[in-house]
Structure 1
Amino acid sequence: MARVLSLVRLQPFLTLVGRRKPMPCTMSMDSRARGVFAAAVEAVQPDTVVRQSIERKEDSVVICGRKFTLQHNLHLVGFGKAVLGMAAEAERILGDHLVKGIISVPHGIQQTLQQHGKNHLLLKENSHIKVMEGAKHNLPDTDAQKAAEGIKQLASELTEKDLLLVLISGGGSALLPAPIPPISLQEKLDVTRKLAAAGSTIQELNTVRRALSFLKGGGLAHCAHPAQVIALILSDVIGDPLDLIASGPTVRSEVWPEEVLSVFERYKLLNFLPASVKEVLGRPSPRWRENTDESNTLGHVLNAVIGSNSVALQCAGRRARELGFRPVVLAPGVCGDVRAVSRLYGLLAHFACSQKEPPPEIAAELLRLGPEVGVESWDLCRTMQVLDEGRTEGWGATCLLAGGEPTVELTGKGRGGRNQELALRVGLELRGLGLPPNGPVFLSGGTDGQDGPTEAAGAITDGGLYEEAQTQGLDIDNFLTNNDSYTFFTRLSAGQRLLVPGLTCTNVMDVHLLLIPPIPVNIR
């Protein structure tokens, strides 16, 4: 094990830690956990990420390190749940150089922001940007289609002298439905629903969506040619793949009818395809012109991810250090079933809190579990090395950070989401490791502020969860079987363990943090 762990010394920059000991803090572990999560959410606020990415000069603008000339030639389009705040900040920065804009945002978002006092994320009354609301319940509808048509029209009228700023965030795919005629919106929805019900993968669904959409898969950038296109993206997808976020409207994507038809054939749906879909798939794609370079990208487009789970974790780490912890980032792409993910965090907690050198079986199981939950063996080795050094060298408290989007197998009809269930399962894994401040604390929260159909974003747990539940007569197994984690945490300690940040106005998936107390001096 020591030989494996020594490999991590080859890349010290992968760990967001330093040798300096953090300053002690008198706040409770629960309060500090909530503070670290709040810092993660604050780091990816829509106005914040735009402000950090756009630098206005007199007659130019620097966006993500590239300079563009401003001559009252800037147009703006956007689509996604966080785009309203992004657009408001962009207009504040760019001023009268912004000629016109159209954004497609969720139904009711303006009223919701007003009710929550988020006026800084709203456009001014004299704004040059038109706001169009649609996609009720996060599903494409006729309102969203009208917005997409307006965006398409704006992009199509641009010239080589124009700049098009494209703002993209999670939920953008449903807010930009533009099926290729003669396919109707309902026909496209029916086709993708049948595929999903048949068990198709997300990659297969995206392949079909791009093939049947005018604007997805780089279609928007094609419409805007020869104008320069700058896309600023707030990612809600593991790994930040540009072609998957909002189905990649500014990312080149070849459309091969044979590949699309093979997907339908695989799920025995060829005979159910509408005539309109067959007609579109039978045409040669006119989408791409000579405006591409050898790297298979669109030459007139700059795509930049300006907010992501990684950004949130970096800022969370800085806040953790301020609160007295040594921050360590495990990975931003944790995925897989919550049962396996909770086991991973439980093993890491036992590894870190061992009073003596951890048994090799823990490291072996961690390395076996890693690929199953989206964590590279290298990252696990690096993390174990840091935790091991923390124990032997007396660094004090540690904050282990990770992010991603685990999944839950639904076996019941209770209330709750993946974050609350993960916290509940990790609480069971922490049993026997002691109570705060001498035992570890775990938090899992969705950065969008809502975990499943509840007002909670997640929950906080520790090694005392099981005994507390027993004392209050709560059968944890029954709650887990019924996927009823929200009811469990509501009844436990009057809901004090729930994480309820309210409207966050952003989404970069989930944040997980494990606070590990220092090992007592007499044990080291």
Structure 2
Amino acid sequence: MARVLSLFRPQPVLALVGRRIRPLCRMSMDSRAREVFAAAVEAVQPDTVIRQSIERKDDSLIIDGHKFTLKHNLHLVGFGKAVLGMAAEAEKIVGDHLVKGVISVPHGIQQTLKQHGKEHLLLKENSRIKVMEGAKHNLPDADAQNAAEEIKRLASELTEKDLLLVLISGGGSALLPAPIPPISLQEKLDVTRKLAAAGATIQELNTVRRALSFLKGGGLAHHADPAQVVALILSDVIGDPLDLIASGPTVRSEVWPEEILSILERYKLLNSMPASVNDVLGRPGPRWKENKDESDTSGRVLNAVIGSNTVALKCAGRRARELGFRPVVLSPGVCGDVRLVSKLYGLLARFAYSLVEPPPEIAVEVLKLGPEVGVESWDLCRTMQVLDEGRTEGWGATCLLAGGEPTVELTGKGRGGRNQELALRMGLELKGLELPPNGPVFLSGGTDGQDGPTEAAGAITDGGLYEEAQTQGLDIDKFLTNNDSYTFFSRLSAGQRLLVPGLTCTNVMDVHMLLIPAIPINIR
């Protein structure tokens, strides 16, 4: 048992940073938290995930355990915020076997990458891939629709000898708008907005959106038939559901018009639909019946999630271990109101910091909160067991990691985002937990580098935040009421607690981190 436990104890106080070695004793908890977050982001860089997912062996590609023969027969399409870097790396790997490519990326992304010194994520001048920018402000527009038409045209011209490599990342849905004629793009947008305003669920919205689109819900794979389709996906959705990421263009989703009519009727919108929508929904039978034979394309489509919050947390845990922490991943699917999420993390911190056996009521409350924030009871029990063993057996410092995408109830008009508000609320939850002097530190950051309409990705907090705010005349409750977390952290100690990584070129939702130092033996 002693040998097993020793594996989890912090290793000698040295950590590799780049090619240098520096003593951890000189690194603050804040610095170590930032390094762990940086490792999470680095793990899901667009070029990194492609390089780790595609293996080139002579004239073959190995992807997700499957072998594909290259005979100058590879075509490439892509859509999403991270797709440009994914495409650049993919072209390096496949070389002249690439015949042609078309990608739909956010407006201005190429110039932005140049300005931030990210040239390695840009295509070479002689690239065979056409870059089309669109979807200003992350909304479908005419430019994005033109790109979708080109992608559809490329896919439709393929034969059974061709291989279509599809690159997908967050934001792909807005960059691939292809309403079924005679529906216009504006009409399709109006329908989904009316449903959202009426209280339709995300599942219902996606069902309607897919039914009115040529390419969503498996439409792209259908148009590429009979070619082999391989989709590499960088997920920005909790649970990595293939049919929801970019609305599942390579995932067959058979939708019947009757199902859509039922949803519209449920929200009393049936009589307010444009004539074009009624025309499309009036066509009999399931979707895809009209253009090609109803053959099942599933055997010729491979969907592989190559980057996700889970991947980011795994690499963050590896870096935490190098920095002297024992990592434990709670869940990559945290959701729900940030007030409940912060309450859960606060309870776990107090559970870990109990000098004697934690009061049973803490565990009971943790398990009660779990379902409300998307965390399974089994994961909570496993995490509490690790925290308890660390406390009683002296395993040392612990790094609790989680991810997901919580929500914020807007009650004010301030600036901020869910990560900064979660960090601010955690400052209240950790109040009084300053034992030992290096008390627990909490970080919440968006892997896309932007939290709400601010330059920050999130913020870092600890048990001393409340007192520090009082000293500087900042009323935390007022800032929370106004949803003004960015202004709070900007004013507090000249913004030193803000997390500002800059352009990250990726997005796998958020990373939450609670660093719990070892409690000295003389205190225990």
Rounded Cα–Cα distance in structure 2 between residues aligned with 1:491 and 1:280: 54
Other-structure match for 1:319: 319
Match of residue 291, structure 1, among 272, 291, 295: 295
Q: Which amino acid aligns with 2:408?
A: V
Structure 1 residue aligned with 2:124: 124
Please name the residue that 1:248 is paired with: 248
In structure 2, the residue matched to 1:73 is: 73
Q: Is the 8 A contact 1:342 1:426 kept in 2?
A: yes
Q: Once structures 1 and 2 are overlaid, which stretch shifts more, 230-239 or 275-284?
A: 275-284
Partner residue in 2 for 1:14? none
User: What does residue 145 of structure 1 align with?
Assistant: 145
Match of 1:233 in 2: 233
Matching residue of 1:23 = 12
The corresponding residue for 1:177 is 177
User: Is the Cα contact below 8 Å between 2:10 and 2:397 reproduced in 1?
Assistant: no
What is the CA-CA distance between 1:282 and the residue it aligns to? 1.2
CA contact (8 A) 1:22 1:326 kept: no
Partner of 2:100: 100
Structure 2 CA distance for aligned equivalents of residues 436 and 291 of structure 1: 65
1:337-376 CA deviation, whole Å, 9 max, x = no partner?
0000000000000000111111001000000000000000
- SS for the counterpart of 2:52 is helix
Partner of 2:387: 387
- Name the aligned partner's letter for residue 220 of structure 1: L
Contact 2:101 2:130 in 1 (8 A): yes
What secondary structure is seen at the aligned counterpart in 2 of 1:299? Answer: helix
Matches within 5 A, 1:502-517: 502-517=502-517
- Distance between the aligned counterparts of 1:37 and 1:363, measured in 2? 28
User: What amino acid maps onto 2:461 in structure 1?
Assistant: T
Contact 1:29 1:437 in 2 (8 A): no
CA distance in 2 between partners of 1:200 and 1:362 (Å) = 36
After the TM superposition, which of the residue ranges 17-26 and 387-396 deviates more from structure 2? 17-26
Separation in structure 2 between the aligned mates of residue 22 and residue 104 of structure 1, nearest angstrom: 46
Secondary structure of the corresponding residue to residue 149 of structure 1: helix
Aligned to 2:484: 484
Residue range with higher mean Cα deviation, 503-512 or 62-71? 62-71
**Deviation of residue 235 (structure 1)?**
0.1
**1:91 and 2:91 aligned:** yes
Contact 1:29 1:436 (C-alpha < 8 Å) held by counterparts: no
8 Å CA contact retained: 1:28, 1:437: no
Where structure 1 has 5 or more consecutive residues not aligned to the other structure, the ranges are 1-16
Give the counterpart letter for 2:295 in structure 1.
N
C-alpha contact 1:291 1:298 (8 A) present in aligned 2? no
Please report how far the alpha carbon of residue 19 of structure 1 lies from its aligned counterpart in structure 2 after TM superposition.
3.4
Contact 2:255 2:287 in 1 (8 A): no
Deviates more, 1:55-64 or 1:226-235: 55-64
Contact 2:134 2:144 in 1 (8 A): yes
Structure 1 residue 340 and structure 2 residue 344: aligned? Answer: no
Residue type at the aligned position of 1:410: L
Instruction: Report the secondary structure of 2:103's partner residue.
Output: strand
Alpha-carbon deviation of 1:326?
Answer: 0.3
Residues 147-166 of structure 1: matches in 2 within 5 Å? Answer: 147-166=147-166
- Shift of residue 437, structure 1, vs aligned partner: 5.1
Instruction: Describe the SS at the equivalent of 2:299.
Output: coil
Query: Any stretches of 5+ residues in structure 2 without a counterpart?
Result: 1-5, 14-23
Distance 1:379 1:140 in 2: 38
CA positional deviation for 1:21: 3.6
Q: Which residue pairs with 2:34 in the alignment? A: 34
d(CA) in 2 for partners of 1:365 and 1:70? 56
TM-score (ref. length: structure 1): 0.95
Measure, in 2, the Cα distance between the counterparts of 1:94 and 1:59: 9
The offset of 1:110, in angstroms, is 0.2
8 Å CA contact retained: 1:334, 1:405:
yes
- Deviation of residue 245 (structure 1)? 0.1
Q: Does structure 1 retain, via aligned residues, the 8 Å contact 2:325–2:398?
A: yes
Secondary structure (helix, strand or coil) at the match of 2:416 reads coil
The answer to which of 450-459 and 22-31 deviates more is: 22-31
Counterpart CA distance in 1 for 2:8 and 2:326 is 9
1:412 aligns with 2:377: no
1:77–1:151 CA contact under 8 A, matched in 2: yes
Residues 190-339 of structure 1 aligned to structure 2 (within 5 Å): 190-283=190-283, 284-287=285-288, 289-292=293-296, 298-339=298-339
Residues 372-423 of structure 1: CA distance to partner in whole angstroms, max 9, x if unpaired? Answer: 0000000000000000000111111000000000000000000000000000
Give, in angstroms, the shift of residue 56 of structure 1. 0.8
- Give the SS at the match of 1:318: helix
Mapped partners of 1:317, 1:194: distance in 2: 43
Report the Cα offset of residue 146 of structure 1: 0.2
Distance 1:201 1:435 in 2: 45
Alpha-carbon distance between aligned partners in 1 of 2:374 and 2:523, rounded to the nearest angstrom: 34
d(CA) in 1 for partners of 2:520, 2:361? 24
Residue pairs, 1:417-496, within 5 angstroms: 417-434=417-434, 438-496=438-496
Count of matched residue positions in the alignment of Structure 1 and Structure 2:
504
* Deviation sequence 1:14-72 (CA, Å, 0-9, x none): xxx95354333211100000000000000000000000000111111111221100000
Q: Spell out, residue by residue over 1:222-252, the C-alpha distance to the aligned partner (whole angstroms, 9 max, x if none).
A: 0000000000000000000000000000001
Moved more, 226-235 or 349-358: 349-358
Amino acid across the alignment from 1:22? Q
CA contact (8 A) 2:211 2:287 kept: no
Q: Deviations over 1:147-202 (max 9, x none)?
A: 00000000000000000000000000000000001101110011111111111111
SS state at 2:229 partner: strand
Q: Cα deviations across residues 287-338 of structure 1 (Å, max 9, x unaligned)?
A: 164432xxxx712100000000000000000000000000000000000000
Percent same amino acid at aligned positions?
A: 87
Q: Distance in 2 between matches of 1:436 and 1:521?
A: 11
Assess if the C-alpha contact under 8 Å between 1:437 and 1:517 holds in 2. Answer: no
Deviation at 1:438, TM superposition (A): 2.6
Partner of 1:400: 400
3-state DSSP class of the match of 2:41? helix
CA contact (8 A) 1:435 1:462 kept: no
1:454-488 CA distance string (max 9 Å, x none): 00000000000100111111111110000000000
Q: Give secondary structure in 2 for the equivalent of 1:255.
A: coil
3-state SS of the aligned residue for 1:180?
coil
Paired residues of 1:336 and 1:373 also in contact (CA < 8 A): yes
Letter in 2 for 1:394: G
Deviates more, 1:62-71 or 1:167-176: 62-71
Q: CA deviation at 1:254?
A: 1.1
Aligned mates of 2:150, 2:8 — CA distance in 1: 54
- Distance, in Å, in 1 between the alignment partners of 2:260 and 2:476 is 45
